[in-house]
């Protein structure tokens, strides 16, 4: 059995991250943390020379995103592209979740509460991004639980630490009913990734699947688990 290939095409939550090029370092940090949590993030490169192809790429990603995330700072208040993207996101009725440093939302999104980030230190910024991501996860678990589960499963597959695996496993166990495809994809990841199968909550997640989704487990996976993991 090939444990390296996903069993199906995961439908992850897509995020369009809008920002000023003057804030690209912090925007990159935000993207990095979101990607670690499984989100499919598009970070527009406004420092490139605009072209028809580039504009079409921006519009395509705006159209396809599940979340429009403008990173609001003083730098982007006068940014032509950020304001264009905010307007398009509003007109397309996208779920808008602003992150901000010392700037309240304006214009079409002035009524939306932003997630405030403290960029005074790398630790503060990291903690605030993590807290904001937890709120996004809670909202998306309610709004689109199927995609949220696929997003978390993708993150579990890429996990490189016990801490990350534990966090994702706990989120998955809180994320509602899991499909048969998702059950077996989680087991594939468990069998493949030592950072998952050696994590305390990773094992608890598999025990949860055995208890609640036993009939959905592939017989070959069941045999491997029973022979090697004492389930």
- Determine contact, residues 71/128, Cβ cutoff 8 Å: no
Mean of pLDDT values over 92-105: 83
Is 90 exceeded by the pLDDT of residue 68? yes
CA distance 117 to 230: 45
> Sign of the CA dihedral 82, 84, 90, 92?
negative
pLDDT at 171: 93
pTM, two decimals, is 0.90
pLDDT at 138: 94
Cβ atoms within 10 Å of 120's Cβ, excluding its own? 9
**Which of 44-48, 132-136, 168-172, 213-217 is least confident?**
44-48
CA distances from 222 to 8, 172, 225, 230 (A): 19, 20, 5, 11
**Domains in the chain, please, with CATH?**
14-140 (3.40.50.10140), 146-229 (no CATH)
Of the pLDDT bands very low, low, confident and very high (cuts 50, 70, 90), residue 105 is low
Question: Tens of pLDDT along 134-143?
Answer: 999 999 999 9
Cβ atoms within 10 Å of 135's Cβ, excluding its own? 11
- Determine contact, residues 70/19, Cβ cutoff 8 Å: yes
């Amino acid at each position: 059995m090939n444990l390296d290939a996903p069993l199906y095409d995961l439908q992850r939550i897509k995020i369009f991250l809008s920002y000023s090029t003057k804030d690209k370092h912090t925007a990159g940090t935000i993207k990095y943390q979101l990607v670690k949590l499984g989100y499919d993030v598009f970070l527009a490169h406004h420092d490139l020379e605009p072209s028809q192809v580039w504009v079409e790429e921006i519009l395509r990603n705006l159209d396809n995103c599940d979340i429009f995330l403008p990173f609001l700072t003083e730098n982007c208040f006068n940014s032509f592209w950020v304001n264009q993207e905010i307007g398009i996101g509003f007109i397309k009725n996208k779920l808008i979740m602003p992150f901000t440093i010392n700037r309240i939302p304006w214009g079409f999104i002035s009524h939306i509460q932003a997630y405030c980030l403290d960029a005074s230190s790398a630790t503060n910024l990291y903690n605030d991004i993590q807290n904001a991501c937890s709120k996004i996860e809670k909202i998306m678990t309610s709004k689109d639980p199927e995609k949220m589960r696929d997003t978390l499963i993708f993150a579990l597959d890429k996990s490189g630490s016990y801490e990350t695996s534990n966090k994702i496993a706990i989120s998955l166990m809180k994320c509602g009913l899991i499909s048969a495809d998702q059950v077996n994809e989680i087991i594939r990841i468990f069998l493949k990734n030592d950072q998952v199968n050696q994590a305390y909550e990773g094992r608890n997640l598999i025990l949860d699947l055995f208890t609640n989704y036993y009939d959905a487990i592939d017989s070959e996976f069941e045999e491997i688990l029973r022979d090697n993991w004492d389930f």
